[in-house]
Amino acid sequence: MEHKLTLKQYEQLNAKLSPQVVSQRKQGGRQVSYVEGHYVIRRANEIFGFENWTWEPVEMRLICDREYKGKEKTGWLVGYICKVEVTIYLDGEVRKTSNWGYGEGIEYNNYGQAHESAVKEAATDAMKRALIKYGDQFGLALYGKDNRHVGNDAPVQEAAPAQAADPKLAPQGEAGWARLQKDMLHLCRENNVDPKTPVLKTLMQAHKKDANVTKMSELPKGRVALFFKDITATIEGLAAQKSGESVGVQDAPNTTPPSTEEAQQLATNAGEEFDAEAWEALDPLAQQEEADRLRDVASQMKAFA
């Protein structure tokens, strides 16, 4: 697939999520981190352009409408789930993503206000989830428990397009190398190849030596493109040499997260769209956390049915 993002957009999307935009709230008896809807909209405007993206609620379902007993008086509790479709226009191409979100409203004096609050919250939640496919800037960074994708990156200057052999490989520095590592791991998973295979490490050492650098993040753009071409060919070659032997990509964690099929069923139970590629890109801890969230949503839906 040909990628249509500009070099600047890649740099913006590869940057760490600033801790200044992360908020905290209590949910399900624990403290969770999240980004506000207004931040996500502003960030999408900055990266894609005001006229180059839209979001639209395409389905809204009332799943809860009941009496709510507060400490001092009785009111109403309503809950909605909403499906939002995000459309992004990239150099003449149209990219669409969609996802489900949940919102609820509690009111003691105005029944209509309870519905309005729940509808707005559900739509905003779904919009954020639809954009999370585009990475850390839209909240993906918060799915890992170690917060290694949250921080302040040094600004990266935009390079001339002629210097990049492939726009996908344009980002440099630590953020660019982190993205390249993700691509390598994805290739390894697709081809059932162990990323710790010595030949892959040898290839990295050779490119560092030829470029006269000490770290992979210091590779110039032309060398990055060549390295990715070499690493892709090497991984595919290793896969072709395999004779049915199963090679693990990584050691199994102490708590095994759900498989892709199991996660898809959890998403179905929660009334949410499932993105298998995004799921497989998460690390095991993040997968476990997302699975817990889906179970919570499914439980809420069942309780409100």
pLDDT tens digit string along 73-86?
A: 899 999 999 999 99
To the nearest whole percent, how much of the chain has pLDDT over 90? 25
Three-class secondary structure assignment of 200-239: HHHHHHHHHHHHCCCCHHHCCHHHHHHHHHHHHHHHHHHH
Give the whole-angstrom CA distance, residue 71 versus residue 69.
7
Q: What is the pLDDT of residue 56?
A: 95
Q: What is the pLDDT of residue 155?
A: 41
pLDDT tens digit string along 212-229?
A: 777 777 777 666 767 777
pLDDT at 87 over 90: yes
Q: DSSP secondary-structure letter at 169?
A: G
Closest CA to 51 of 86, 84, 8, 89: 89
Beta bridge partners of 64: 79
Q: What is the pLDDT of residue 204?
A: 76
Match 């070499």 to its residue by tokens: 230
Higher pLDDT, 44 or 279: 44
Domain ranges of the chain: 161-241
pLDDT tens digit string along 115-154?
A: 999 999 999 999 999 999 888 889 888 876 667 778 766 3
Give the whole-angstrom CA distance, residue 62 versus residue 57.
14
pLDDT at 244 over 50: no
Q: What is the pLDDT of residue 81?
A: 94
Higher pLDDT, 211 or 106: 106
pLDDT tens digit string along 26-73?
A: 776 777 888 899 999 999 999 999 889 999 999 999 999 999 988 888
Higher pLDDT, 244 or 134: 134
Higher pLDDT, 233 or 300: 233
| DSSP three-state, residue 275 | coil
Higher pLDDT, 164 or 297: 297
Higher pLDDT, 252 or 206: 206
Q: What is the pLDDT of residue 247?
A: 34
Can you give the pTM of this predicted structure? 0.51
Q: What is the pLDDT of residue 291?
A: 80
User: Are the C-beta atoms of 284 and 253 separated by less than 8 Å?
Assistant: yes
Closest CA to 6 of 170, 174, 223, 155: 170
Q: What is the pLDDT of residue 32?
A: 80
